[in-house]
Structure 1
Amino acid sequence: MILFVKLLLAHLLGDFIWQPNSWVADKEIKKHKSIYLYFHILLHGILAAVLAGEIQFIPYALIIAVTHGIIDVIKLNFQKKETKRTWFVLDQIAHLVILIGVVFLYENQTINLLWFGSQFWIFITGLLFITKPTSIFIKTIISIWSPENNESHTDNSLASAGNYIGILERLFVFGFILTGHFEAIGFLLAAKSIFRFGDLNEAKERKLTEYVLIGTLISFGIAIITGLVVQALLLQLL
C-alpha cells in the first residue's frame, strides 16, 4: 500500500508539478523527437527510484520510466484537438495501471526501508493531488462547457487568479476535514458565493454562471472526497 502511495506521489510530481507547460507544448509539436519527452521520462524514473527508497527497486523504476515514455508517445501521436480530453484520461489510467502492476511485481520482496511513516506519505500525496493535478483535471472536464466569449469578463482579472483560488479553497477544505471542522466548509462555500455574486451579476450570462458553479462544485467535491479518503487511511494506521 505505502509503495503505491510513493509511486503515485512520484507520478504526480513528474506529470504535473515538475513538468513545465513549455515541455508539454514542445512534446505536442515534435512528439517523439522532442528532447523534453526524454527529460520527462528520465524524471519519472529518478522520482520512482528515489521515493521507493531501496536500491533493488531501480530495475522497477526503469520499467516505470520506459512504459511511461511508451504511453506518452502513443498519446502524442494519436490525440487530436477534439480528442485531447479523452486521451488525457486514458493516459492517466494507463500510468496508474502500470504503477499497480509494478507494486504487485515488487511485493514479493520485503519493504523495510521507509524514510517517513506511512501517515506522511498518505498525507503528502493527498495534499499534492488537490493542487495542480486537480486543477488540470477540472479544467479538462469542464472545458466542453467553456463559454465562447468569456475573455471580456477576465480583462480585469489577475493572471491565473481563478486557478490559485481553486487550489487555496481545496487546501482549506482538506485541512478542515482532517481537523474535523466540517462546518467551516459551508462557511467557505458561502463566502466564495458572496464574492463571486457581483462578477456573475455583472456578466449577465447564464452560461458563465453555470460554468463557474460547475467548476466550484467539482472543486469542493474532489477536495471533500480526498480529505475523507486520507482521513480514513490515516485512522486505519493508528
Structure 2
Amino acid sequence: MILFIKLLLAHLLGDFIWQPNSWVKDKETKKHKSIYLYLHILLHGVLAAILVGAIQFIPYALLIAVMHGLIDLIKLHFQKKKTKRTWFIVDQIAHVLILMGVVLLYQHEPINFQWFNNQFWILITGVLFITKPTSIFIKTIISIWHPESQNSNNDNSLTKAGNYIGILERLFVFCFILTGHFEAIGFLLAAKSIFRFGDLKEAKDRKLTEYVMIGTLMSFGTAIVTGLIVQALLLQLL
C-alpha cells in the first residue's frame, strides 16, 4: 500500500504540480517532436526512483517512465478538441493502472524511508491530491458547460481567484474531516453560499448558478471523500 502511495505521489507531482502549462501546450502542438514530452517522461522516472528510495527499484522506475510516455503519446495523437475531457480521464486511469501493475510486480520488496513513517506518505498524498490535481479534474469534468456570464469581459474578479479559493476550501474540509469537526464543514459551505449569493443574484443567470453549484459540490465532495479515505488508512496503521 505504501509503495503505491509513494508512486501516486510521484505521479501527482510530475503530472500536475511540476508540469507547467507551457509544457502541456507545446506537447499538444508538437506531439512526439516536443522536447518537453521527453523531459516530462524523465521527470516521472526520476520522481518514482527518488520517492521509493531503493536502487533495486530503478528498473521499475524506468518502466513507469516508458509506459507513461507511451500513454501520453497515444493521448496526444488521438485526442481532439471535443474529446480532450474523455482522453484526460482515460489517460489518468491508465497511469494509475500502470502504477498498480508495478506494485504487484514489486510487492515482495518492503520499501520505507527510515525518517518518514507510513502516516506521512498517506497524509501528504491526500493533501497534494486535493490541491491542483483536483482543480484540474473538476475544471476538466465541468468544461462541457460554458455559462455566458463566465465569458463576460466585465469580470472584475482576481486572476485565478476561484482556483485558489477552491484549493483553500478543500484543505479546510480535509482538516475538518481528520480532526472530527464535521459541523465546521457545514459552516464553511454556508459561508461560501452567502458570499456567492450576491454574485449569482446580480448575474440573474440560471446556467451560471447551476455551474457554480456543480463546481462547489464536486469540490466539497472530493475533499470529504479524500479526507475519509485518508482517515481510514491512518486508523488502519494505528
TM-score, normalised to structure 1, is 0.98
Distance apart, 1:114 and its partner CA: 4.3
**Cα contact 2:52–2:112 (8 A) shared by 1:** no
Indicate the residue corresponding to 1:22 in structure 2.
22
**Cα contact 1:53–1:115 (8 A) shared by 2:** no
Amino acid at match of 1:80: K
Indicate the residue corresponding to 1:130 in structure 2.
130
Q: 1:157 to 1:80 in 2, by over 3 A?
A: same
Listed as ranges, the gaps of 5+ residues in structure 1 are none
**Cα contact 1:54–1:113 (8 A) shared by 2:** no
**Cα contact 1:53–1:114 (8 A) shared by 2:** no
Indicate the residue corresponding to 1:207 in structure 2.
207
**Are 1:12 and 2:12 matched, yes or no?**
yes
**Cα contact 2:174–2:226 (8 A) shared by 1:** yes
Indicate the residue corresponding to 2:86 in structure 1.
86
Distance apart, 1:145 and its partner CA: 1.8
Pairwise mapping of residues 1-238 of structure 1 onto structure 2 (< 5 A)? Answer: 1-152=1-152, 155-238=155-238
Paired residues, number: 238
Q: 1:133 to 1:154 in 2, by over 3 A?
A: farther
Listed as ranges, the gaps of 5+ residues in structure 2 are none
What's the CA shift string for 1:154-208, capped at 9, x where partnerless? 6200000000000000000000010111000000000000000000000000000
Distance 2:154 2:215 in 1: 16
Q: 1:211 to 1:117 in 2, by over 3 A?
A: same
Amino acid at match of 1:50: I
What's the CA shift string for 1:122-166, capped at 9, x where partnerless? 000000000000000000111112214422276200000000000
Task: Give the fraction of aligned pairs with identical amino acids, expressed as a percent.
Answer: 81
Distance 1:153 1:196 in 2: 19
Distance 1:233 1:4 in 2: 13
Amino acid at match of 1:73: L
TM-score, normalised to structure 2, is 0.98
